[in-house]
Structure 1
Amino acid sequence: MTAANLPSYASGTSTTPLLGDTIGENLARTAARFADRTAVVECASGRRLRYAEFDAAVDGLSRGLVALGLQAGDRAGIWAPNGIDWMLVQYATARVGVILVTINPAYRSHELGYVLAQSGVAVLFSAVTHKGSDYRAMVDEVAGDCPDLKHVVYLGESSWDEVVAAGQAVPIEIVRGIAAGLDPDDPINIQYTSGTTGFPKGATLTHHNILNNGYFVGELCHYTERDVVCVPVPFYHCFGMVMGNLASTTHGACLVIPAPGFDPADTLRAVQQERCTSLYGVPTMFIAELSLPDFADYDLSSLRTGIMAGSPCPTEVMKRVVADMGMTEVTICYGMTETSPVSTQTRIGDTLEQQTGTVGRVHPHVQVKVIDPATGRIVPRGTTGELCTRAYSVMRGYWQQPDKTAEVLVNGWMHTGDLAVMDAEGYLSIVGRSKDMVIRGGENVYPREVEEFLYQHADIEDVQVVGVPDERYGEELLAAIRVRAGSQLSEQDVRDFCRGRLAHFKVPRYVQFVDEYPMTVTGKVQKYRIRDAAVQRLGL
């Protein structure tokens, strides 16, 4: 069969079985094997815990949760930037079956109140302040509208110490008994997906979902107990807490927290000081690190691997990560919160073209297919369609929203809303969001293709392409460009660069030079906000 005759379907076969334990059991097993190895380093405070110490601290907080009256299936929220205490809450709740509701640190009172009430959070672990925001004031503002909220514990304050102290009256045997009664298929995490309209939805994930996804992400990065993983991406999101924390603890690796929030210099300093072998980030984070004036002064020679994910990875950026940061075994991951998150990943040893031009092949124990959104039928390889995933990793559903769940979960298949192409070897390329696709005068234009082309211009550091309304063609393209420091680039220069090399309907009609993009806290560019601002500014 030729590639054109093959269906866009792939199944991830593996001789490595899925893990059948809970997160708490898995951590205890790792701690027993690697008791004296460093589990986690918090660079901001200098705090370091060995696996035996980390596991004991998890036990102590677990006893405190029981002392507060929490039972398996109850919800505890965490609203804070990255730190060791965040991880202790993650593993302690899992150990006693309490469902952890991870809350975006960028949320404000309106969103916080919605999440606490919608998920029925009984105990909230909160930062006191972060980036100038008064978390306590916002908690006080919404607490009266959250009838299930019984306790608020502030990280770094006496309320935290009081919970741990209260737990000392709870025999450890009680925690062991609760842990033994848990099932890997129990829900253990609710992650609210950042919606562009309306309120976010709570993807409900199990031990089995996220423990295995973290494990296999680490397997494909070839992690062992000798790896040191630098995680500057936020823990509240799957990228941090699953691909970072769980990938590390399932392999006995050391996890390094460079700072509470992302800072490019702090990140590279942590890599240098802790001799990190792996570094995570979304493309904008790597761009920020590579753009530091003193980038060449950092010793990054320990780096071997890492993960770039969260949004499409520009080819030119990936080439610099490999060449200038020494991350020759870097992998690209693709997924979504609803799939725990990773469904595809490039492999160590893949060609540079596969590393830079695709999001890899299907993950172990996962199925993917590319379908015609109109008919639901699988399209031939080489044809664009919507990517769908079915696996152990697919969420239970959206918390208490069966109608929203039914919109995206059909016969076990999660419909991603992403447009993809599968090649003859099963590698997938994401060409855009189905809603991001621009239709100009009847021609389908995928912004990713235009962005990749513009990245080749020596003066362009970053670019985002969106569609804006047009009376004649329906839509036109707008390119929002960040230029390299010291560069002089005009709108006409950009159009001249495109002409003769791109089809006329792919040449941006509008060019806008910007200093920064509107972002989510995970570093994803919010294209809808670029589009909305442009519509208003241009009077479209």
Structure 2
Amino acid sequence: MDQSNQSYSRGVQDKTLLAMTIGQAFDRTVARYPDGEALVVRHQQQRYTWQQLAETVDLHARAFLALGMQAGDRLGIWAPNCAEWCISQIASAKLGVILVNINPAYRSSELEYVLKQSGCQWLVCAGSFKTSDYHAMLQELKPELRGMISLDPNPPTGFLPWSELAALGANVPLDRLHNRQASLHLDQAVNIQYTSGTTGFPKGATLSHHNILNNGYMVGESLGLTAQDRLVIPVPLYHCFGMVMGNLGCITRGTTMIYPNDSFDPLLSLTAVAEERATGLYGVPTMFIAMLDHPRLREFDLSTLRTGIMAGATCPIEVMRRVISEMHMSEVQIAYGMTETSPVSLQTGADDDLERRVTTVGRTQPQLENKIIDADGNTVPRGEIGELCTRGYSVMLGYWNNPDATREAIDDAGWMHTGDLASMDAQGYVCIAGRNKDMIIRGGENVYPRELEEFFFTHPAVADVQVIGIPDERYGEAIVAWVKFHPGHVANALELQTWCKGRLAHFKTPKHFKIVEAFPMTVTGKVQKFRMREISIEELRTESQ
């Protein structure tokens, strides 16, 4: 086979990786930009220069030492976005303590599983969030922890208030922190992130300083982030998007981190961009759609925006056009990846045309490799669909305490098998066709939900759409489209089906349409297609009875 025609691509090699720990990278930025603004947490009315953030981080790192935290200990963090999240992230990294990110939406059984599976010894937690009473859940669980630190100023018995850490830290000599930090190396584990599997228990992707520091650095490189940039981060910190592409991307470049709220709110995100004169904004497509469709959008001056990242799903072309024209994000980029690859392995560039930014997820990131393979492991010709695999500095150390799952995911040659179906064009741009498990097989025909979703986005009334397959006695699977309309627009299922005629192959036309106000979502803003399947199957079963 002609080697040049194979679906294999290697990112540029002239961008040098950072050979340091997260603590060293942070200290380097503090030394370079001591008076620059580092962190703005609007809902807490807190602002830090790099020097102020460093003093706070070091004081809390010393407090963690006073509590007896050892290198390799696991510190869970169960809280929405806040200043203490960022402080805990950097302070734990300086001590070689492994931060375990816990989804703020978790309930008792999920929390118990993650604490036990990771062997957490310590926990930083909010008092409550939305409908969850964290204190009550922990008091009921009575997890075997050495200590629980609460962000609530007046927590119940058994919790150490965060406000008392400063006094604890003041009694620990700075030399102890410096000695611990000097003993660490870049390939040590620093973070465990649980992947939300649709079946079975979540798996803890174990990531090193080298993994996530360099991924944040390379994402920032593509965006052209500098110490003059100001980035609004409305995505959750417990996820790679927030803590790696957001926090570490900014920390490696001296860029200001701005948290508009404890969780995503379209109005507060728009307000933060305007009032903080932000140059960058992160989000998943559903977040950008919510901001664009907000009735007060026109009130905000967004003219300082230049760049940002849309990730989590391929961006609909109409949404991308509006982000560029109405939000002034002329250099907005698409990024693709997964927690197991720290996360980004593919990214578009600032100068890629609109077509590339909406039909692809870009090209291979610097110092990484990607290939697309068939079921036998052979690299497929360019243009053909197969499974996407990634290799390089970003691939996780493995799943925490789960060697079997690690062997299934990472092969002997070091390739991470993503489970995503993709194709690569002649220039190395990759298109994601969907998850292996999301592909619909209707009457022997392969149907890729992403293609149908792109098609429905061209309908003037459609604001967002998600396509799934459900069991069907006659064809094996039937296609269901969940549709959300723009404000003031309506259409019924018959109108949508009629609209498909002549525009779409008959076997691709959805059999069922479900009109909704919202989709089932994870806290990170990702659509839960498995929940949509369950709901659709149950509703259609009820209708047929």
Q: Normalization by structure 1: what TM-score?
A: 0.98
| Residue 324 of structure 1: aligned partner | 326
Secondary structure at the residue paired with 2:407? helix
Tell me how far apart the structure 2 counterparts of residues 229 and 376 of structure 1 sit (CA, whole Å).
40
| Residue 261 of structure 1: aligned partner | 263
| Residue 28 of structure 1: aligned partner | 27
CA contact (8 A) 2:467 2:482 kept: yes
Tell me how far apart the structure 1 counterparts of residues 46 and 170 of structure 2 sit (CA, whole Å).
23
Tell me how far apart the structure 1 counterparts of residues 194 and 4 of structure 2 sit (CA, whole Å).
39
CA contact (8 A) 2:213 2:248 kept: yes
Q: Structure 2 stretches of 5 or more lacking a match? A: 155-160
Deviations 1:135-187 (A, max 9, x none): 100111222xx33x111101142621222211222111011001001000000
Equivalent runs, 1:344-359 vs 2, <5 Å: 344-359=346-361
CA contact (8 A) 1:68 1:163 kept: no
Tell me how far apart the structure 2 counterparts of residues 92 and 279 of structure 1 sit (CA, whole Å).
26
Equivalent runs, 1:381-530 vs 2, <5 Å: 381-410=382-411, 411-530=413-532
| Residue 172 of structure 1: aligned partner | 174
CA deviation after TM superposition for structure 1 residue 15, in Å = 1.5
CA deviation after TM superposition for structure 1 residue 483, in Å = 1.3
Tell me how far apart the structure 1 counterparts of residues 110 and 320 of structure 2 sit (CA, whole Å).
35
CA deviation after TM superposition for structure 1 residue 133, in Å = 1.7
Deviations 1:301-346 (A, max 9, x none): 0000000001222221111111111100001000000000000000
**Counterparts in 2 of 1:32 and 1:156: CA distance versus 1, 3 Å:** farther
Tell me how far apart the structure 2 counterparts of residues 173 and 476 of structure 1 sit (CA, whole Å).
65
Counterpart amino acid of residue 171 in structure 2? A
Tell me how far apart the structure 1 counterparts of residues 414 and 136 of structure 2 sit (CA, whole Å).
42
Tell me how far apart the structure 1 counterparts of residues 82 and 394 of structure 2 sit (CA, whole Å).
26
CA contact (8 A) 2:314 2:359 kept: no
Secondary structure at the residue paired with 1:140? helix
CA contact (8 A) 2:317 2:358 kept: yes
Tell me how far apart the structure 2 counterparts of residues 259 and 457 of structure 1 sit (CA, whole Å).
33
CA contact (8 A) 1:23 1:211 kept: yes
Counterpart amino acid of residue 151 in structure 2? L
CA contact (8 A) 2:464 2:483 kept: yes
Tell me how far apart the structure 2 counterparts of residues 204 and 164 of structure 1 sit (CA, whole Å).
30
Tell me how far apart the structure 1 counterparts of residues 502 and 496 of structure 2 sit (CA, whole Å).
12
| Residue 103 of structure 2: aligned partner | 104
| Residue 203 of structure 1: aligned partner | 205
- 1:535 pairs with 2:537: yes
CA contact (8 A) 1:319 1:356 kept: no
Tell me how far apart the structure 2 counterparts of residues 316 and 67 of structure 1 sit (CA, whole Å).
54
Counterpart amino acid of residue 495 in structure 2? D
Tell me how far apart the structure 1 counterparts of residues 11 and 216 of structure 2 sit (CA, whole Å).
16
| Residue 83 of structure 2: aligned partner | 84
Counterpart amino acid of residue 351 in structure 2? G
CA contact (8 A) 2:10 2:370 kept: yes
Question: How many pairs align?
Answer: 535
Q: 1:155 pairs with 151, 155, 169, which one?
A: 151
Counterpart amino acid of residue 438 in structure 1? I
Tell me how far apart the structure 2 counterparts of residues 219 and 102 of structure 1 sit (CA, whole Å).
25
Equivalent runs, 1:26-175 vs 2, <5 Å: 26-143=25-142, 146-147=143-144, 149-157=145-153, 159-175=161-177
Counterpart amino acid of residue 351 in structure 1? D
Tell me how far apart the structure 2 counterparts of residues 382 and 101 of structure 1 sit (CA, whole Å).
39
CA deviation after TM superposition for structure 1 residue 12, in Å = 0.7
CA RMSD between the two structures: 1.2
CA deviation after TM superposition for structure 1 residue 99, in Å = 0.2
| Residue 250 of structure 1: aligned partner | 252
Tell me how far apart the structure 2 counterparts of residues 252 and 486 of structure 1 sit (CA, whole Å).
43
Tell me how far apart the structure 1 counterparts of residues 229 and 83 of structure 2 sit (CA, whole Å).
18
CA contact (8 A) 2:307 2:331 kept: yes
Tell me how far apart the structure 1 counterparts of residues 217 and 462 of structure 2 sit (CA, whole Å).
37
Once the two structures are overlaid, the 10-residue window that deviates more, 163-172 or 95-104, is 163-172
- 1:364 pairs with 2:360: no
Deviations 1:451-471 (A, max 9, x none): 100000001111000001111
CA deviation after TM superposition for structure 1 residue 356, in Å = 1.1
| Residue 13 of structure 1: aligned partner | 12
Moved beyond 6 Å, runs of 4+: none
CA deviation after TM superposition for structure 1 residue 46, in Å = 1.8
Counterpart amino acid of residue 247 in structure 2? N
Q: Structure 1 stretches of 5 or more lacking a match? A: none
CA contact (8 A) 1:5 1:380 kept: no
CA contact (8 A) 2:293 2:487 kept: no
Tell me how far apart the structure 2 counterparts of residues 218 and 101 of structure 1 sit (CA, whole Å).
24
Counterpart amino acid of residue 249 in structure 1? I
Tell me how far apart the structure 2 counterparts of residues 384 and 17 of structure 1 sit (CA, whole Å).
32
Secondary structure at the residue paired with 2:117? helix
CA contact (8 A) 1:276 1:302 kept: yes
Secondary structure at the residue paired with 1:429? strand
Secondary structure at the residue paired with 1:435? helix
CA contact (8 A) 1:125 1:155 kept: yes
**Counterparts in 2 of 1:251 and 1:5: CA distance versus 1, 3 Å:** closer
CA contact (8 A) 2:314 2:358 kept: no
Deviations 1:504-533 (A, max 9, x none): 100001111011110000000000111111
Tell me how far apart the structure 2 counterparts of residues 141 and 395 of structure 1 sit (CA, whole Å).
34
Secondary structure at the residue paired with 2:437? coil
CA deviation after TM superposition for structure 1 residue 501, in Å = 1.0
